[in-house]
Amino acid sequence: AQSVTQLDSHVSVSEGTPVLLRCNYSSSYSPSLFWYVQHPNKGLQLLLKYTSAATLVKGINGFEAEFKKSETSFHLTKPSAHMSDAAEYFCVVKTSNTGKLIFGQGTTLQVKP
């Protein structure tokens, strides 16, 4: 069965310091992986996606993620956190062409001044 595990439910960083949000997946097939962000009272917004073209994927707002097949990981990083990055982040896997997405449990990112 396919699944996604986000290793931290809550991450707190200071503004200007690096961000690391961890995600591991389990899939019998070569998956596509996504990171979505949800700001308060907003919809889920796509940050970036991995679809086998390149293992290092760059997204919006300075975020990037690296697909590591050997570690079944897809961690999200950003070199320098901004206050506006405070939100809920979801790692998502898609393993078939039915369109169904499987979500991790989410990580709340807090950015302190």
Name which of 86 and 101 has its Cβ closer to other proteins: 101
- With contacts defined by CB under 8 A, name the span among 16-24, 49-57, 65-73, 75-83 that binds other proteins: 49-57
Cα angle for residues 82, 85, 89 (degrees, 5° grid):
150
Helix (H) or strand (E) holding 43: none
Query: CB-hemisphere CA count at 13 Å for 107?
Result: 28
Report the residue from 7, 24, 26, 49 that binds other proteins according to the rule CB under 8 A: 49
Report the residue from 41, 56, 70, 113 that binds other proteins according to the rule CB under 8 A: 41
- Spatial distance between the Cα atoms of 66 and 3, rounded to a whole number of angstroms: 18
Q: What is the Cα Rg of the chain in Å?
A: 13
Instruction: Tell whether residue 74 is a contact of other proteins (CB under 8 A).
Output: no
Binding site for other proteins (CB under 8 A): 31-32, 34, 36, 41-46, 49, 51-52, 90, 94-106
